[in-house]
Amino acid sequence: MSSENAALSSRKLTGYEFYHRILGSPKYVVAPMVDQSELAWRIFSRRHGAHVAYTPMINSKHYSAVKNKGFREANFSILNKEEGNPKIDRPLIVQFCGNDPDQLLKSAKLLEDHCDAVDLNLGCPQDIAKRGNYGAFLQDDWDLIYRIINTLHLNLKIPVTAKFRVFPTVEKTVEYAKMLERAGAQILTCHGRTREQRGVLAASFPFIVLSVTNSSCSNNQGLADWSKIKAIKEAVSVPVFANGNILYFSDVAACLEATGADAVMSAEGNLYNPAIFRPGLLSLANSEEKEADSSPNEHEPQPKHIPDNPSTKTSPRLDMGGTRKFLSEHLPIADLALEYLEIVKQLKTPTEWSAIKGHLFKVLRPGFVKHTDLRDRLGKIPSPKAKPN
């Protein structure tokens, strides 16, 4: 280990130093999703362009309980030595929810050696979060949020980050973000919807033809407000990840341009299209036509890339009328589904049947529109009694 690397490993990196040196200057991020951003899906998503992935939300009240070892293994398996493994599951951020600083710290301490950062969920708008007083329902108690983040910031070996929702006004949203930064959050992920918005567009995502590139309007439709994310980015000094309205690859660039954010996080878009962070043929052709007019900045840190899976390499480039293109950048949905299932099969860490089934329904949804019999058959498949060899 070089003297520089030894020095880095002996201290906790913060802000942009953490973003560049540990996370690798990521642009494409897989969101924390309950029962959906599990280990197999994280590996799968990284193969198809994601730079960083979050675990599903983990309830710190249960995870910190001494007697609840079964819950711990089910939510993050340490025994199998796969989750958080630097060879297959990094960069990784573990997300916790909760309202008790001590419980959150105890839970985070258990996993700080198995991830790159710990995230506090301040964005869940569901009724279960309201009953448990966590997620977006903590946003009315800024003192408590400050104490939670500051406790983690001062006592963990790794950074703490926060994912949150906006308030109705940009002024209160910005003040909220600045408070999170003062408390010690080293990355702020802003979901541009309010607590009351549940993301109407997501339900019909695959069949929306209109690309969402101007999202500061139509609040009654559940659209995320990118203008508030932009205001946050201009007001804080730590990296900002933007979340909301990412339906297609073209929306990623539009969001980065509109908000100035350091990265874009995708949830529903990633679930329906795990290759959402890979450009299609038209995007590739347009970008390559500009190569002669632009050159990369060699001083700017570039994102780390997970090595390609040999079985999923893209087709070779061909010269087509002077413009280079890929024959097929994205695999057919059936091939994507089979690749995901192969990852599930190869892992020692079990994948919940509910997660597997949920992923298949979403990835294969375009095909199920025509082949409704296959959709019905998948729905009737019972949970296997044992993981196949």
Catalytic residues: 124
Element (H, E) at 58: strand 58-59
Counting every residue written for the chain, the total comes to 389
The answer to whether the CB of 188 falls within 8 A of the CB of 238 is: yes
Alpha-carbon distance of 262 to 254, in angstroms, equals: 13
Helices (H), the chain: 3-9, 15-21, 39-47, 60-63, 69-75, 101-111, 127-132, 142-155, 170-183, 226-235, 249-259, 268-272, 281-289, 333-346, 353-363, 365-368, 372-380
Three-state SS at 4: helix
Report residue 62 CA to chain centroid gap.
Answer: 23
Amino acid letter, residue 229: I
Three-state SS at 165: strand
Element (H, E) at 95: strand 92-97
Q: In terms of Cα–Cα distance, which of 188, 134, 140, 132 is closest to 160? A: 188
Angle between helices 249-259 and 226-235 (to 10 degrees): 50
